[in-house]
Amino acid sequence: MTELQPPVAPQRHHEFELFNDARTDPWFWLRFIEDAETMAYLEAENAYTDAVMAPTEELQEKLYREMRGRIREDDSTVPEKDGDYFYYIRFEEGGQYPVYCRRLRNSGSVDREGDDPEGGEEVLLDANELAKDQDYLRVGVFDTSPDHKLLAYSLDTEGSEVYTIRIMDLATREHLDEPIPNTYYSLEWANDNLSFFYSVLDEHHRPVRVFRHRLGEDPSRDRLVYEEHDERFFVGIAKSLSRRFIYVVAGGNNMSEWRFMDAGDPDSPLTLIEPRSEDFEYDVEDHGDRFLIRHNGGGAKDFMVSEAPIASPGWDSWTPVVEHQPGRPILGLHCFQDYLVMEFREAGLPQVSVTRFSTGDSHRIALDDAVYGISARSGREWDTSTVRYSYSSMTTPPTVYDYDMDTRDREFRKQIEVLGGFESADYSTERLLAPARDGALVPISLVYRNDTPLDGSAPLYLYGYGSYGIILDAEFGSARLSLVDRGFIFAIAHIRGGMEMGWDWYESGKLLNKRNTFNDFIDCADHLVSRGYAAPGNIAAAGGSAGGMLMGAVVNQRPDLFRAVAAHVPFVDVLNTMLDDSLPLTTMEYNEWGNPNDAIYYDYIKSYSPYDNVTAQDYPNLLITGGINDPRVTYWEPAKWAARLRAAKTDDNLLLLKIHMDSGHAGASGRFDRLKEVALEYAFVLHCFGISE
């Protein structure tokens, strides 16, 4: 039987020169999808991956059935009260997509659960029906008018994150002949029930314009409300929970600028709150005659809360409400009529506090575990004493509570049911602190079965991200049980570049400190080895997007640590991408990675960019994925990286590239199809570890 031979991408000379530095990129041509050789190469890589993984098809199917079998398919969210209705999302047995529903409010506890025998269920939108003739479907915005008579929603059918808005009359079920293409993720109704505001993409896939649409009018004649001219900023729209204001928000990496208008008058002008400035972020809630503003101005790196009169909202009028505390990042505010809910972190763990406006009394919501995740929700009601929050740990499935901010009692509403015999008591979770090479202590969260040996003999799966200040909490994931139940220890490294430990934790993993992110991940792996949780070469690692960059960097530096690595939609061609300002995210991310048109950043990015630092050495087994329609990390980044690795590596380990031809950055859109992608990764990992069952 002939041994399978991997595809070889031809090399074509292409040279760049900047700062007297000449670089050659033999696979630059792969970015041209119209080149027949590009598609032929991608298809050859997919065919090779399928062929290599063919012996694991039975295992993939078993993993898929396991993961799907843990999900209660006919499930629903806890209903949210809004006016005369309860709104919720449910899933049907076998359905890949959500069904958006509502019921009329009635008295009684049965009504609170959304089970209303009197009014009955009203299906607003069944995404399963919309997806019947589509390879991909994702609902973007979904927003009913204030009088609940109209629905505005948007769809992406390619994975390109370009959405078309449709408007439906909920009484007649008829769509208005006013589709609006080329839109993004934000839409808000004015209080007149006739107008809404939405964001539009430019030729570089950046949401930079906000328009107002009035029902019955030609969308091509919609009024331009705001246009952003700074290419570092994206624009979105939000509506206050009080429904008094509509906000137009310009945001770049670590910068923001807010404007507001009267939601009751769609023709009212926009009023600027405070002009943008470098490294200055703020966001706004309204309460009475004032704004409450979370911000990092005046040296408040980890954010503070100030108030300002709505009549004069600029910086000179800001006065402190919650002072800045270094190492306690304030992550968000939820403002109700009588209460302020604040989400923050302390000692790397999330906390939620409640303050009564009338007295100033404040308290924290009491939590159960030592390591956990919690997030509060604003909901749809302004005049309420109840805040809903979701809580989980690595052994506790997501659990929804309604918390009475007055009595401090919590009401259990729902826990995600994990089928297949899952018992939380069969698993243990821990939090370790790994010493980094520069003395920083990096948190690691772990989960494993109680019968797993902790002597270095068990395989370990280590996940990381470490960019944009994004926080990875120690939360539950049912899919990972398919590894944990096969003896893996599952670990999350809370490395610098995230904001788990505060703003300094983020800043020490970005720009000219970016290599700390990669060093932290390696140091976490070494620490787990030293503590007996793993052995060198007996570790699987995984990350996606910027976490895929992490994977690329660590396998260049310490390939000996890892047996298998999965890099999903990996941002690995960092230098070339950051030099290409025609790509959607490049300019707004100069504050994350640096602008390589400056020699200092050019040299630094080049020093770690995974694609530019592939060398002739042994590499672990690698599974690399991408999406052909991905606007965030273009398909050619993983493709070029795979081609360069094939040409350079000195081992016989697996190198597999899978480009999904009908999706983008987020992968498959169906909830079960996504599990097939996880099953492929887990089968790859298990295969590399010699586990076939």
Query: Is residue 113 pLDDT above 60, yes or no?
Result: no
CA neighbours closer than 13 Å in the CB half-sphere of residue 110: 7
Query: Which amino acid is located at 595 in the chain?
Result: N
> Considering only CA atoms, which of 28, 1, 26, 50 is closest in space to residue 660?
50
SS3 566: strand
Q: Which two tokens stand for residue 444?
A: 């690691």
Residue 578 pLDDT: 98
Q: Which two tokens stand for residue 104?
A: 């009329």
Q: What is the secondary structure of 18-74 as a DSSP string?
A: ETTEEEE-TTGGGG-TTSHHHHHHHHHHHHHHHHHHGGGHHHHHHHHHHHHHTB-SS
* Partners of residue 375 on adjacent β-strands: 390
Chain Cα centroid distance, residue 629: 18
Where does 75-201 have alpha helices with state H? 109-112, 127-130
User: Domain 145-272 in CATH: superfamily?
Assistant: Prolyl oligopeptidase, N-terminal domain (2.130.10.120)
Q: What is the secondary structure of 478-544 as a DSSP string?
A: STTHHHHTTT-EEEEE--BTB-TT-HHHHHTTSGGGTHHHHHHHHHHHHHHHHTTS--TT-EEEEEE
pLDDT, one tens digit per residue, over 271-292 is 999 999 999 999 999 999 999 9
Residue 297 pLDDT: 98
Chain Cα centroid distance, residue 3: 40
Query: Which amino acid is located at 160 in the chain?
Result: S
Query: Residues 653, 147: contact at Cβ < 8 Å?
Result: no
Query: Which amino acid is located at 518 in the chain?
Result: F
Residue 106 pLDDT: 77
Give the C-alpha distances (Å, rounded to integers) separating 639 from 161, 223, 556, 607.
21, 42, 17, 21
Query: Is residue 1 pLDDT above 50, yes or no?
Result: no
pLDDT, one tens digit per residue, over 129-171 is 999 999 999 999 999 999 999 999 999 999 999 999 999 999 9
Give the C-alpha distances (Å, rounded to integers) separating 385 from 329, 331, 396.
25, 21, 27
Residue ranges per domain, the chain? 15-69+421-688, 77-129, 145-272, 327-417
Q: What percent of the chain has pLDDT over 70?
A: 98
pLDDT, one tens digit per residue, over 62-79 is 999 999 999 999 999 999
Query: Is residue 253 pLDDT above 70, yes or no?
Result: yes
Which residue in this structure is represented by tokens 């805040």? 387
Query: Is residue 107 pLDDT above 70, yes or no?
Result: no
Chain Cα centroid distance, residue 247: 23
> Considering only CA atoms, which of 104, 27, 137 is closest in space to residue 573?
27
Query: Residues 653, 41: contact at Cβ < 8 Å?
Result: no
Q: What is the secondary structure of 352-368 as a DSSP string?
A: EEEEETTT--EEEPP--
Q: Residue 170: count other Cβ atoms within 10 Å of its Cβ.
A: 16
Predicted TM-score (pTM) of the model is: 0.95
Question: If 0-12 CB within 10 Å is exposed, 13-18 middle and 19+ buried, where does residue 414 land?
Answer: middle
- Mean pLDDT (the chain, rounded): 96
Residue 119 pLDDT: 58
**118 or 616, which is more confident?**
616
Sheet containing strand 330-335, edge to edge, reads 330-335, 339-346, 349-356, 362-364
Query: Is residue 471 pLDDT above 60, yes or no?
Result: yes
Q: Does domain 15-69+421-688 have CATH number 3.40.50.150?
A: no
Give the C-alpha distances (Å, rounded to integers) separating 589 from 252, 551, 554.
8, 20, 22
Q: Which two tokens stand for residue 4?
A: 């399978």
Residue 61 pLDDT: 98
Angle between helix 546-557 and helix 515-530 axes, rounded to 10 deg: 60
Q: What contacts 273, CB < 8 A, 6 or more positions away?
A: 257, 258, 259, 260, 282, 284, 291, 293, 308, 313, 314
Q: What contacts 410, CB < 8 A, 6 or more positions away?
A: 365, 401, 402, 403, 404
Residue 117 pLDDT: 45
Q: What is the DSSP letter of 317?
A: G
Q: Using CA atoms, how far apart are residues 576 and 637, in angstroms rounded to an integer? A: 10
Active site residues: 545, 630, 665
Q: Using CA atoms, how far apart are residues 244 and 146, in angstroms rounded to an integer? A: 12
Q: What is the maximum span of the chain, computed from C-alpha positions, in angstroms?
A: 80
Q: Using CA atoms, how far apart are residues 585 and 607, in angstroms rounded to an integer? A: 21
Residue 115 pLDDT: 47
Where is 209: in which H helix or E strand? Answer: strand 207-214
Query: Is residue 114 pLDDT above 50, yes or no?
Result: no
Query: Is residue 612 pLDDT above 70, yes or no?
Result: yes
Residue 371 pLDDT: 85
- What is the pLDDT confidence band of residue 109, given thresholds at 50, 70 and 90? very low
Q: What is the secondary structure of 406-459 as a DSSP string?
A: TT--EEEEEE--B-SS--GGGEEEEEEEEEPTTS-EEEEEEEEETTS--SS-S-
- What is the pLDDT confidence band of residue 369, given thresholds at 50, 70 and 90? confident
Residue 693 pLDDT: 86
Q: Using CA atoms, how far apart are residues 478 and 484, in angstroms rounded to an integer? A: 10
> Considering only CA atoms, which of 149, 143, 6, 217 is closest in space to residue 651?
6
Q: Using CA atoms, how far apart are residues 192 and 113, in angstroms rounded to an integer? A: 30
